[in-house]
Chains A and B, each alone.
Chain A
Amino acid sequence: MNEMARLQKRRLALYGWMLAAPALALMSLFAFYPAIATFWHSLFSRGTSRRPSVFTGFENYGDLFADPTFWTVATNNLIYAGVTIPVSIIFALVMALWANAHIPARSFVRSAYFTPTILPMIAAANLWLFFYTPDLGVIDQITGFFGASPTNWLGQPETALASVIIVTIWKEAGFFMIFYLAALQTIPPDLREAARIEGAGRWTYTRRVLLPLLMPTTIFVFVNAMINSVKLIDHLFILTKGGPNNASKLILYWIWEMAFAYFDSPHAAAMTILVLLALGLVAVAQFRLVEKRTHYR
């Protein structure tokens, strides 16, 4: 090979590394290193002044599996994810289709849908705390009007998790709608017209053209919703604090509790690693399964 060409190639490789370096350094410092450190930390026992921490292998993980709270929290989080993800995606899609149609006051509808997203989660939770207040809250006022007796929505194990789920959907659907709205606007109106000429009705068009074309957005929204179902716990602090009797406790809230309320950082670290592992597996499965069936433009 020509000497100049080889030099050129090497220089390009160097440029590549130079461009990647800042992100790589920051990622290592703030993502990779903490993950590895957490894993290492989870292999040691909790140290006190009298008993220094010792290497215990996977004993912390065994403790977690033996703890009934672990199973409650994991089940809660599965229900939480299983409901919030599909429901908020469907709401977002329906809202986007509506806000994208030629309706009067379109921009008002759009901003109305988006308002919950702008609100900080803590503020939103306080708002909903008022809605859920037994007897005085908006919900009980409405149900009371029809003769129902007051319900302590957040205070009883049967309804606490459902109440938290509703707040999350309310908060997320508007955010996801924006992505669908953006995607809908990139779909040329010609396709709709071509489908109409070919005799496709609204439903056929939606099912055979619109939804497949929105698939990349759906995947993106799905990944976000999944991350949020693990990550978004701000409202728990205001609404239920995980109670009553762990009925609305989610994994991340439990980890926070272990680490900062009970100061049991090794178990918290072990739980964190389990969450990372689970999320990693889901991500891989997702990309394997869905990627193949999705058309990217």
Chain B
Amino acid sequence: MTSQPPFIRISSVSRVFNGGNGVHDLSLDIPRGSFVVLLGPSGCGKSTTLRLIAGLEIADHGTIEIDGKDVTSAPPSKRSLSMVFQSYALFPHLSVAENIVFGLKVRKTKKDEIKTRLADALRVTGLEGYEDRKPAQLSGGQRQRVALARAIVAGHPLCLMDEPLSNLDAKLRHAVRKDIRDLQQRLGITVVYVTHDQTEAMSMADIVILMKDGRIEQIGNPADLYLKPATAFAAGFVGSPPMTLIPANALPTSVIPDGFDANNLTFGIRPEDLILSTGQNDHPWGIPATVTGSEFLGAETFLFVAIPGTDGATARLPGRVEISPGTEVSLSWVGAAAHWFDGEHGHRLTPTVPGTSAQDTKITSQPDTATSTL
């Protein structure tokens, strides 16, 4: 990514637990000063990866380097990093100030340096005036800030975060997300952040590492993940509501790109790329579907439709759209908006000569009627 050597280099690391969970042969470079999000469903190995970097787990195989030093078997304290835990892991018997300077005291930092660093950390996290409170006397958001303050007070160049927002309510989560991102950029530290929430990943990350079953599914910036998902899993995991994935043999053969086998193919479409039309025959082709329900969210409306032979699809329409359940509609899309994945292995397939197949020309010439008529 940059000409510099990577800040963290993980080379073919494995750590397998008794149940078979863990990470398998993971290799990964993290550039200095980046905000990297490890994303994936629970049990995908993202937390294990983080704990391997932290030194709380020791790799069975492979090596981990941080800042050019091999730390594969170094204890956490020798890796000059800090960590924010999902539960915050604040010491309940210590005050806010004592919690923050715990590590400094353990490392026998000088008294006046502790004092200035504490003051800095309190100011940066907006915790001034709460120094003497116990964690139990703080709100969830304040506790989270104490955990952050403890992580930044030592000035380590690397900060690991294990789902730090999952115990906050939705509104606070949004604000803290921005705070963490600002803090990371202001301090210029490298952050490795674990979450199962794709919204967090998309909004904060420089680089998203999507994991599944202990392996990396896709690495890329948020736009890459959204626009060009490497696998059907990535397509279904990123985006809210997720991409509609249906087996291609439920589609009319005319829409299948040349050279693809409809029996071993998955078709994917983002909800905002689905075009709905209610009028008959105003579209040269279309997939018949039945509206099953809708959700009005203010700026947009989600419509849920049932397509025979599939699990159904979701369409995202701007503004307020009222279609009663049971209405017959016809679905179509702009050719380039379609994603194709291998039906068996799930990897992305690219039509051999995109844009030249018969359906594509037909579709692109068609005016976008559905949204305007509804």
Shortest CB-to-CB span from B137 to chain A, Å, is: 12
The tally of residues in A whose CB lies under 8 Å from a CB in B reads: 19
- Asked if B92 is at the interface of the complex by the 8 Å CB criterion, the answer is yes
Instruction: Type the 1/0 row for B66-99, where 1 means its CB is closer than 8 Å to any CB of A.
Output: 0000000001110001110111011111000000
- Asked if B54 is at the interface of the complex by the 8 Å CB criterion, the answer is yes
Asked whether, in the complex, the Cβ of B93 is within 8 Å of the Cβ of A204, the reply is no
Asked whether, in the complex, the Cβ of B93 is within 8 Å of the Cβ of A295, the reply is yes
Kindly identify which residue among A190, A195, A196, A212 contacts B93, using a CB–CB cutoff of 8 Å: A212
Instruction: Type the 1/0 row for B103-139, where 1 means its CB is closer than 8 Å to any CB of A.
Output: 1001100000000000000000000000000101000
Given contacts A199-B107, A204-B106, A295-B134, contact A193 B89 (CB under 8 A): yes
Asked whether, in the complex, the Cβ of A198 is within 8 Å of the Cβ of B77, the reply is yes
Shortest CB-to-CB span from A44 to chain B, Å, is: 52
Query: How far is A212 from B154 in the complex, measured between Cα atoms in Å?
Result: 24
Asked whether, in the complex, the Cβ of B83 is within 8 Å of the Cβ of A194, the reply is yes
Query: How far is A266 from B107 in the complex, measured between Cα atoms in Å?
Result: 64
Asked whether, in the complex, the Cβ of A193 is within 8 Å of the Cβ of B87, the reply is no
Asked whether, in the complex, the Cβ of B93 is within 8 Å of the Cβ of A213, the reply is yes
- Asked if A191 is at the interface of the complex by the 8 Å CB criterion, the answer is yes
- Closest chain A residue to B82 by CB distance? A197
Asked whether, in the complex, the Cβ of A197 is within 8 Å of the Cβ of B54, the reply is yes
- Asked if A6 is at the interface of the complex by the 8 Å CB criterion, the answer is no
Query: How far is A191 from B150 in the complex, measured between Cα atoms in Å?
Result: 13
Query: How far is A196 from B76 in the complex, measured between Cα atoms in Å?
Result: 6
Asked whether, in the complex, the Cβ of B87 is within 8 Å of the Cβ of A197, the reply is no
Query: How far is A196 from B55 in the complex, measured between Cα atoms in Å?
Result: 9
Instruction: Type the 1/0 row for B257-280, where 1 means its CB is closer than 8 Å to any CB of A.
Output: 000000000000000000000000
- Asked if A200 is at the interface of the complex by the 8 Å CB criterion, the answer is yes
Asked whether, in the complex, the Cβ of B106 is within 8 Å of the Cβ of A197, the reply is no
Query: How far is A213 from B94 in the complex, measured between Cα atoms in Å?
Result: 10
Chain A hits for B76, CB < 8 A: 193, 196-197, 199
Chain B hits for A295, CB < 8 A: 92-93, 134
Chain B hits for A204, CB < 8 A: 106
Query: How far is A213 from B92 in the complex, measured between Cα atoms in Å?
Result: 8
Asked whether, in the complex, the Cβ of A297 is within 8 Å of the Cβ of B77, the reply is no
Shortest CB-to-CB span from A292 to chain B, Å, is: 13
- Asked if B28 is at the interface of the complex by the 8 Å CB criterion, the answer is no
Chain B hits for A199, CB < 8 A: 76-77, 103, 106-107
Shortest CB-to-CB span from B171 to chain A, Å, is: 26
Asked whether, in the complex, the Cβ of A197 is within 8 Å of the Cβ of B102, the reply is no
- Asked if A147 is at the interface of the complex by the 8 Å CB criterion, the answer is no
- Asked if B56 is at the interface of the complex by the 8 Å CB criterion, the answer is yes
Instruction: Type the 1/0 row for B191-232, where 1 means its CB is closer than 8 Å to any CB of A.
Output: 000000000000000000000000000000000000000000
Query: How far is A245 from B138 in the complex, measured between Cα atoms in Å?
Result: 61
- Asked if A119 is at the interface of the complex by the 8 Å CB criterion, the answer is no
Kindly identify which residue among B82, B89, B103, B136 contacts A190, using a CB–CB cutoff of 8 Å: B89
Chain B hits for A200, CB < 8 A: 77, 102-103, 106
Kindly identify which residue among B56, B75, B82, B91 contacts A191, using a CB–CB cutoff of 8 Å: B91
Shortest CB-to-CB span from A169 to chain B, Å, is: 29
Chain B hits for A191, CB < 8 A: 89, 91
Query: How far is A209 from B286 in the complex, measured between Cα atoms in Å?
Result: 66
Chain A hits for B77, CB < 8 A: 196-200
Instruction: Type the 1/0 row for A209-241, where 1 means its CB is closer than 8 Å to any CB of B.
Output: 100110100000000000000000000000000
- Closest chain A residue to B134 by CB distance? A295
Chain A hits for B93, CB < 8 A: 209, 212-213, 215, 295
- Closest chain B residue to A200 by CB distance? B106
Asked whether, in the complex, the Cβ of B85 is within 8 Å of the Cβ of A198, the reply is no
- Asked if A104 is at the interface of the complex by the 8 Å CB criterion, the answer is no
Chain A hits for B82, CB < 8 A: 197-198
Shortest CB-to-CB span from A140 to chain B, Å, is: 48
- Asked if A188 is at the interface of the complex by the 8 Å CB criterion, the answer is yes
Asked whether, in the complex, the Cβ of A196 is within 8 Å of the Cβ of B103, the reply is no
Chain B hits for A212, CB < 8 A: 93
Chain A hits for B150, CB < 8 A: 198
Asked whether, in the complex, the Cβ of A190 is within 8 Å of the Cβ of B87, the reply is yes
Kindly identify which residue among A190, A209, A213, A297 contacts B85, using a CB–CB cutoff of 8 Å: A190
Asked whether, in the complex, the Cβ of A194 is within 8 Å of the Cβ of B107, the reply is no
- Closest chain A residue to B108 by CB distance? A199
Shortest CB-to-CB span from B173 to chain A, Å, is: 20
Given contacts A188-B89, A190-B85, contact A196 B75 (CB under 8 A): yes
Instruction: Type the 1/0 row for B322-343, where 1 means its CB is closer than 8 Å to any CB of A.
Output: 0000000000000000000000
Kindly identify which residue among A193, A198, A213, A297 contacts B56, using a CB–CB cutoff of 8 Å: A193
Chain A hits for B89, CB < 8 A: 188, 190-191, 193-194
Instruction: Type the 1/0 row for B287-325, where 1 means its CB is closer than 8 Å to any CB of A.
Output: 000000000000000000000000000000000000000
Task: List 8 additional A-B contacts (Cβ < 8 Å) besides A196-B56, A200-B102.
Answer: A188-B89, A191-B91, A193-B54, A194-B83, A197-B77, A197-B103, A209-B91, A213-B93
**24 A-B pairs whose Cβ atoms sit less than 8 Å apart in the complex:** A188-B87, A188-B89, A190-B86, A191-B91, A193-B56, A193-B76, A193-B83, A194-B85, A195-B91, A196-B55, A197-B82, A197-B103, A198-B82, A198-B103, A198-B106, A198-B150, A199-B76, A199-B103, A199-B106, A208-B106, A209-B93, A213-B92, A215-B93, A295-B93
In the complex, the 6 A-B pairs of residues with the closest C-beta atoms, listed nearest first: A198-B103, A199-B77, A190-B89, A295-B93, A194-B89, A212-B93
